[in-house]
Structure 1
Amino acid sequence: MFEKILSLNIKSSSYQPLDKIFSLQLESLRGLSAIVVLFSHAFQAFVAPQDVTFYSVVRLLGQSAVMMFFVLSGFLIGHSIQKNFQQNHTFSIKKYAKQRFRRILPPFIFALFWMLLLYVLAPYFFATQSHSFEVIPALMVRTAYDFSLFELVGSVFFINEFLTPTLSANAPLWSLSYEVWFYVLAGLIALWQSTFARVGFVITLLILSLLNLQFLVYFGLWLLAFTFSFDQVSSRVDVYSLKIVQWIFAIFALCIAIYDAYQFFIIDQIKTYQANLFTIFNACIGVFFAIFLLQLDQKQRSFKPVWVSSARFSYTLYITHFPILLFIMGVFPQSFLRSIWTSMLAVILSMLICIAFAWTMAKFLEPKQPLHPK
């Protein structure tokens, strides 16, 4: 099966641009997923120390949004590579790399400098007059706005989660590291007729998987969505069987979510939060989302796009919001918030600040693209 996926004749596939409605639906999903991640982190930062009733649900909600990012990426990169072949009559690795660099690097570099700036300012604005937060006997997303040079170097070269930890002050960068390597592997797939590309693909995937087995699982999800972007695959899918598979994985995900809550509230008695079930849950929910995208593409499902323009700043929002939330935590500690109601207000206000900041900066950082194909 894996060999069949990799041996897709991309060059001869009949590429069809995404239609307007489907494109708007994908953009809506991308923007809303970033906002869900933002909400999940804001909730953990400001509400969880006061009330953990929905903590397990919100954490898994954030994980689900990241899986939506992964499957959207796989599906859209598949279309992008097919378009690349159509426009150049062969695969232009130069054009592909340029597009990926233009998309990833400007917001990423800015996010690192932004994180460092807030780190320098922290002692002047934090209630503790240091990089530490006011520690309370409750679940806290962080106890300090801090990072190490080791973490920074790892993130700069996208080897965090493989050879180094992800930056403590910007946790969402864990998935960006995966994403960049997905792009590398996709480029090698596009060059699959070359022996060098095949060897490079196998070696790269083997090394990354040995360093972090979770990467192999998430690449499988990404690759599934990637293959669904090809008509020669999607046209042969048994729609009825696929729907059954989709709901089987949805049920598995629900069972894992229930057990995750049980482990948190009953076994661990709210003293800590285990993340050992995340990979299994994400694998199940990722398959569900990949099939969902295929159903949207084939008009088997539909929904009205919501806040489509949020896609224009979704990436910037994703990689800049965490340092902002930590900074706000330091300036307004839990003793200042005092109650669940002020904590909920802090969630709303912090989300608005992060969205406004990302919306403004994305105008300069993210490539200007139409919200649907012309």
Structure 2
Amino acid sequence: MSGHDQALPRQFSLQLDSLRGLSAIIVLFSHCFQAFIGPLDLSLYSLVRLLGQAAVMMFFVLSGYLIGHSIQKNIYLHQQFKLKSYLRQRCKRILPPFIFALLLVTVLYHLAPDFFYSGTHKILPQQGMMVRENFAIDPTELIGSVLFLNGFLTNTLSANAPLWSLSYEVWFYVLAACLALYHRIGAILLFIGLISIFSFLNLQFFLYFCVWLLAFAFSFPAVYQSLNLDLLQPLKISFFSLAALIAIFDFYQFHMIEHTLVYRADNFSSFNVCVGIALSCWLLQLRLNIKRIKPIFAHAASYSYTLYVTHFPILLFILGCSAYLSFQHILMAMLFLILSMLFCIGFAYVTSKFLEPQRTRRKEEKST
């Protein structure tokens, strides 16, 4: 594993920023749809949920690619992989918004009884699907989320559902560091131990790590230069097609088999793996200028992570405060969806200036 000194091409970097920003907005839309439209109209419920899942897989793919690039830069700058520099960079990126999100959940939890229509933590469920019935904080879930063990030893904090993917992400970073230290027997043993334990506790983790690892591998010139690039397009189309078939089945299962009484996540893993592989191929095509996208959402990348980890508790709080009003009519629900999205984006935009590293474009092109 060797390093290189090339920064990401400017156009490619802007495309990555656009994909990151767009993915965060899609996740936000998916949750707002579930919160405000789901209780009134379930016709698009399953498709919107899968759209949100696809956006999270885009995050994983981007993460894998950019961590691979970051490790190569680390090796180039230090002539070897410097673990301390890597950890410092990851902690600076991950921890401030994460800690703030946990504090935000706690504050909103204590404010809920004073502002909710119910006068309690209950969000007053209506007909259809509720994104949550209560604004709840379970101590075990909170501890698990703080230690990034949610999804393995505990459930994810109910009041901040997106944290399920953050625990995966953090352990992906650890496993990547072990790979960068492949010449050390201790690192290899740690890699084997961690991947075995976490995969045993949650097989989904292993499946998503394989997708993440594919994108990670695609960041290395030695890997993609050895590939038959003509296969990228048919591979991408094949896995997108499989994902579309799974989405159709999920829609059928929800409406025809379950009769919209319950929505299960049984199809998420297979759908996400197919989407993740297809997105990895597409990302490599973007890197090699085989494909291009217009980077219209690049500005949103600067607050995308803060938006991702803060929007859900804010959304629940708005829902609890507006339950009667927002459920009166579908048009009113759509209005609340739009206003909630705008508020969450504005909140993330402001707070990210204090929580996320504000880098110049040149630095942004050189590291994650």
What TM-score results when the alignment is normalised by the length of structure 1?
Answer: 0.96
Q: How many residues align?
A: 364
8 Å contact 2:218–2:224 — kept in the other structure? yes
Shift of 1:243: 1.6
Indicate conservation of the 8 Å contact 2:151/2:164, yes or no.
Answer: yes
Distance, in Å, in 2 between the alignment partners of 1:306 and 1:250 is 23
Does structure 1 retain, via aligned residues, the 8 Å contact 2:19–2:297?
no
Q: Is the 8 A contact 1:133 1:143 kept in 2?
A: yes
2:167 counterpart residue number: 177
CA contact (8 A) 2:57 2:275 kept: yes
- Counterparts of 1:243 and 1:169, CA distance in 2: 40
Contact 1:155 1:177 in 2 (8 A): yes
Equivalent residues in 2 for 1:45-56, closer than 5 Å: 45-56=35-46
Q: Is the 8 A contact 1:115 1:323 kept in 2?
A: yes
Query: Where in structure 2 are the equivalents of 1:1-374 lying within 5 Å?
Result: 10-11=1-2, 13-334=3-324, 336-371=326-361, 372-373=364-365
Matches of 1:299 and 1:310, distance apart in 2? 23
Query: Contact 1:46–1:334 at 8 Å: present in 2 too?
Result: no
Deviations along 1:86-142, one digit per CA (max 9) or x if unpaired, are 101111000000000000001100000000000000000000000001122321111
Alpha carbons 1:71, 1:225 under 8 Å: kept: yes
Over the matched positions of the two proteins, sequence identity in percent amounts to 52
With over 3 angstroms needed to count, the CA separation of the structure-2 counterparts of 1:269 and 1:334, relative to structure 1, is: farther
**Cα distance in 2, alignment partners of residues 317 and 242 from structure 1:** 32
| Contact 1:15-1:79 within 8 A present in 2 as well | no
| Deviation (angstroms), 1:335 | 5.0
> Aligned AA for 1:331?
C
Q: Distance in 2 between matches of 1:106 and 1:198?
A: 30
Which runs of no fewer than 5 residues in structure 1 stay unpaired?
Answer: 1-9
Query: Per-residue displacement from partner, 1:194-250 (whole Å, max 9, x unpaired)?
Result: 111111110111001001000000000000000000000011111222221111111
State the 4+ residue runs in structure 1 displaced beyond 2 angstroms: 13-16, 334-337, 370-374
CA contact (8 A) 2:40 2:327 kept: no
Cα RMSD (Å): 1.0
Q: Is the 8 A contact 1:49 1:334 kept in 2?
A: no
Distance of 2:200 and 2:84 partners within structure 1? 29
Letter in 1 for 2:36: F
Contact 1:107 1:365 in 2 (8 A): yes
Q: Is the 8 A contact 1:146 1:169 kept in 2?
A: yes
After TM superposition, give the deviation of residue 147 of structure 1 in Å: 1.8
The answer to whether the Cα contact below 8 Å between 1:264 and 1:272 also exists between their aligned partners in 2 is yes
- Between the aligned partners of 1:341 and 1:335, the Cα distance in structure 2 is 11
Query: How much does 1:336 deviate?
Result: 4.5
Alignment-mate amino acid for residue 373 of structure 1:
E
Using the alignment, how far apart are the partners of 2:310 and 2:107 within structure 1?
12
Matched position secondary structure for 1:313: helix
Counterpart amino acid of 1:248?
S
**Counterparts of 1:297 and 1:237, CA distance in 2:** 14
